[in-house]
Amino acid sequence: MLPFAVGIAISPIPIVAIVLMLGTRNAKSDSLSFLVGWLGAMAAAGAILLAIAGPADPTEDGAPADWSSTLRVVLGVVLLGLAVKQWRQRPAPGEEAQMPKWMDAVEGFTPTKSAGLGVLVSVVNPKNLILIVGGATAIAQTDVSGTDQAIAWIIFMVIATIGVAAPIVIFFTMGDKAADILADLKSWMAHHNAAIMAVILLIIGVKLIGDAISGFST
């Protein structure tokens, strides 16, 4: 499950969104509300996915269930397609990166809207949703108890949240220095968003297909 969690953790758009929030007058309440929405949505998604996938156990010899390998192929192909799309969308040298229009409205967000944004970019975001499904599949295909699956999902959530939590920690602990650090982070992540996501999706897509082929041949 680790590659899926890391893929979410270093996804640029959520990180840029939280950095923008930390530059508003309601930085503290909005950023913490965003984090609550992010974690709540991811917890709910994990509970639903593991409840659905949990009854499908591995085969008697310990190999992944056939449904798991089939799903990995589908997800892998989708991720490879998204990787190509992202690579083509990367800005040319000297060109400013295109960011979602909703980011312009972040400054006027209330804590409720910030929490809603956390839900949207964590689970409703198609790229993150695919990675969440992949992570849940990796956990569900193991022959472990429901309690162990829940613990594994909590670990998944912690790793996946590092990317959006890091700017909040910087903001609360580094005082006046935080503004410059976060501004540089936002600029770099925004400019390289397409390239970063293309590489992430390519690596995970290839891994998924490779794991699926290995599962079918077992």
pLDDT tens by residue, 166-211: 999 999 998 888 888 888 888 888 888 788 888 888 988 888 888 7
DSSP the chain: -HHHHHHHHT-HHHHHHHHHHTTSTTHHHHHHHHHHHHHHHHHHHHHHHHHHHTTSPPPTTSPPPHHHHHHHHHHHHHHHHHHHHHHHTSPPTTPPPP--GGGGGGGG--HHHHHHHHHIIIIISHHHHHHHHHHHHHHHTS---HHHHHHHHHHHHHHHHHHHHHHHHHHHHSTTHHHHHHHHHHHHHHHTHHHHHHHHHHHHHHHHHHHHHHHHH-
pTM: 0.80
Q: Quote the pLDDT of residue 54.
A: 63
What pLDDT, in 10s, does the model give residues 72-89?
A: 788 889 889 988 988 888
What pLDDT, in 10s, does the model give residues 35-94?
A: 999 999 999 999 998 888 765 555 544 455 666 678 778 888 988 998 898 888 887 777
